[in-house]
Structure 1
Amino acid sequence: MSALKWGQGKGKGAAGPALFSLPLSFDHFVLPRVLRRPVRILARLGEGEFQAPRFSAAIMSAVLIASSGAYGAYLGGHADGIVQSITARTGFAVDQVKVVGNRQTSEIDILDRLELDGWTSLIGFDAEAARERIATLPWIEVAAVRKVYPHTLEVRVEERQAFALWQQGSDLSVIEKDGAVIAPFSGGKQVLLPLLIGAGAPAKAPEFLAKIEKYPDLATRIRGYVRVGDRRWDLKLDNGITVKLPEDGEDQALAELVGMDHDKGLLSRDIAAVDMRLSDRLVVQLTPEAATQREAALNEKPKMLKRKPETKI
């Protein structure tokens, strides 16, 4: 108890305990339990009675060096790298990546945005930053990156929906239904998308293509939808015929076109264009070959009439 209760059992004028020659005696005062041992050791150290354990100097030096290195790494911005390196070598290195939902976006592009270096630790990996990088890819609409411990990353993406191809001059792009450009045309299955040509075509295309869908036989033959002056449409068919639709009354013109093709095979003839811009008439333009043949036939007709023998009565 003499080590805990200072001043007890001491006579008047007796010297109390001291720390580094400073008196620590207080009448009837007891230190809290948690402080007793540290204060006792400090008192012995001040009186020269305490002997440090073996290798304590080496341990303290190592602690000092380690703490200095950690502090320096923190100030230099290298703390994350140290954490990454240590945790990666203790079984948390990313060695598997699962990518789900990509169709137009290659896995290579997604892996490139993850910025893995072979020793990336799952613990220190910034999933949100990786998600933001993946979201910048042209086809990606929504992206999510999830850590699956101990060493797997799971990437789920939702891609934008392609509606058509849009040609402006020599540029050919894949667009969404609202006209937003997704990415340049890269081939493959994208070639099956409707081809829109001309300024203003993307804005008017959804409504117009919905009308065309009512006539499947005609729709399968159309290779291009040309917006003319942002006022009306020309249809480019697979056999080279151009159908010039009017500004107003598109529905009626399409119905008449399909009817004439069904009844008279209009779109299978040797013609270059069908002009329906005038409401009271339909103009058919022959191909150069057909026009030459027609002209030759018309020139031959008078000769045939002259050769016809006279009939005797």
Structure 2
Amino acid sequence: MFALRAGQSRVAAGSPVAGASRLADGFLLPRWARRPARLFARLGTGDFVPPRFAAAYATALLFAATGLYGTYVGGRMPELAQAVTARTGFAVDQVRVVGHRETSEIDILERLDLTGWTSLIGFDVDAARERVASLPWIEVASVRKVYPETLEIRITEREPFAIWQHGSQLSIIGRKGNVIVPYAGGRHADLPLVVGAGAAEQAAGFVAEMAKYPDLASRVKGYILVADRRWNLRLDNGITVKLPETGADEAIVQLLRADREKGLFNRQVAAIDMRFPDRMVLQLTPEAAEARQAALDSSGKPKKPKPEKRT
């Protein structure tokens, strides 16, 4: 009641300004609405004297409101918010990348689409995560804001399994046969080579089976799928082992026994055919074949002299 009476005593009773605080007899406006009501009442009676530069302020306010409205209608409010917040201490100044090995930081930064005045507040982390995850090596990516000025990128990369040769093309593939990137040499040269249509999808299972025979698996440099049915093995000394379509385990056991007993892998052999259940067929290298033929010729019986013709 004291505040209400104090507010009434500032103007003369019965004046238009005093009446502006009332909407009807016995009803007073709330305190926050009384001052605006008195201001409008003074404008109507001519008692109000505007402050200096009021017209300039009003014009500037009008222009500002018009500009904000145009920005809103034109859909440029996010850009305006980016510019304002970036210049008030929230510009992205640091990017922290964790978990990358095959992917370069430059490629990741390009996917973030950062400028010198990108605001951390308005930055779309979901869209950035999708762009980063589109890089070939990246399997999972996360983007996190660390206020006031840092972006943290955590990635999990795909694991390379083998080099797949299909025709004249070489590609690095994952364990499920998915192509990751074209093969360009470097540290991936030690990956096993799988060759042929369908080899990318079937290689993981066959290589796992070969792991049961470490003495042979350690010497295999290439796994060649033939007619989508059976495998050939290319050994580190150039020998090709032709495995059967069925019974590959038995053939490998027989092959390893022959190598232990007769040093098969150290001979001048170009190919070892294990496709026949009752025998092993060896194909000699061209040099070994020539040497063998020469040996056979030299060990043959001497030719009989031609009888002299009698005249």
d(CA) in 2 for partners of 1:59, 1:16: 25
Cα offsets for 1:4-32 (capped at 9, x unmatched): 59xxx87xxx999777xxxx763222222
Q: Which runs of 5+ in 2 are unaligned?
A: 305-311
Q: In the TM superposition, what is the alpha-carbon distance from 1:79 to its structure 2 partner?
A: 2.2
Task: From the superposition, tell whether residues 25 and 35 of structure 1 become closer, same or farther in structure 2 (CA, over 3 Å).
Answer: closer
Shift in Å, 1:34: 2.1
Tell me the CA shift for residue 217 of structure 1.
Answer: 2.5
1:193 equivalent in alignment to 2:200: no
The answer for the alignment partner of 1:252 in structure 2 is: 250
DSSP-derived class of the 1:45 partner: helix
What is the CA–CA distance in structure 1 between the aligned matches of 2:19 and 2:26, rounded to whole Å? 16
Partner SS for 1:302: coil
Q: 1:294 to 1:39 in 2, by over 3 A?
A: same
Tell me, yes or no, if structure 1 residue 148 matches structure 2 residue 146: yes
Q: Which runs of 5+ in 1 are unaligned?
A: 307-313
2:130 maps to: 132
Candidates 70, 73, 76, aligned match of 2:74: 76
Give the RMSD, CA atoms, in angstroms: 2.5
Q: CA deviation at 1:82?
A: 2.3
Q: Bigger shift: 145-154 or 78-87?
A: 78-87
Aligned to 1:274: 272
| CA apart distance, 1:2 | 11
| CA contact 1:140–1:160 (8 Å) conserved in 2 | yes
**Percent same amino acid among aligned pairs?**
57
1:203 CA displacement: 2.7
Cα distance in 2, alignment partners of residues 153 and 105 from structure 1: 17
Measure, in 2, the Cα distance between the counterparts of 1:25 and 1:217: 102
TM-score, normalised to structure 1, is 0.88
1:121–1:304 distance in 2 versus 1, CA, 3 Å: farther
- Which residue of the partner structure matches residue 216 of structure 1? 214
Structure 1 segments (4+ residues) deviating >4 Å:
1-5, 14-19, 303-306
Q: Deviations over 1:67-126 (max 9, x none)?
A: 211222222233222222222222222121111111111111101000112221212211
Q: How does 1:23-102 map to 2 (within 5 A)?
A: 26-102=24-100
User: Given the two structures, how large is their TM-score scaled by the length of structure 2?
Assistant: 0.88
- How far is the alpha carbon of 1:35 from its aligned partner? 1.6
- Per mean C-alpha deviation after superposition, the further-off stretch among 245-254 and 169-178 is 169-178
Once the two structures are superposed, what CA deviation does each residue of 1:198-221 show, in whole Å capped at 9, x if it has no partner? 112123222211121122232222
Q: CA deviation at 1:302?
A: 1.9
1:161 corresponds in structure 2 to 159
In structure 2, the CA distance between the partners of 1:143 and 1:16, relative to structure 1 (3 Å rule), is closer
Aligned partners of 2:95 and 2:231: how far apart in 1?
48
Question: Residue 177 of structure 2: which of 173, 179, 183 is its match?
Answer: 179
Q: Determine if contact 2:17/2:41 at 8 Å carries over to the other structure.
A: no
* Aligned mates of 2:269, 2:60 — CA distance in 1: 93
